[in-house]
Amino acid sequence: MTNVTLKVEGMSCGHCVSAVEKAVTGAGANGSVDLAAGKVTVSYDEKKVSLDTIKQAIEEQGYDIA
């Protein structure tokens, strides 16, 4: 598994945490959100999903990745 921490802008509340986590899960990865820090740590299998796909799923929920 590969672990990457992304800086995600625009997460403001618990609903945002859920939306981002669902996006990451939906892309076939696992995500852990640190709301206060504005960071999302994603854990994924590079053979199954690309980081770009995960990033895109987060962005599609309306959040920007710095």
User: Which stretches of the chain bind a second copy, using CB under 8 A?
Assistant: 10, 12-16, 18-19, 62
Alpha carbon distance 36, 34 (integer Å): 6
| Least distance between a second copy and beta carbon 4 (Å) | 24
Nearest to 11 by CA among 36, 43, 41: 36
Instruction: State which residue, 26 or 62, has the beta carbon closest to a second copy.
Output: 62
The tokens of 5 are what? 């921490």
| Least distance between a second copy and beta carbon 13 (Å) | 5
| Least distance between a second copy and beta carbon 15 (Å) | 3
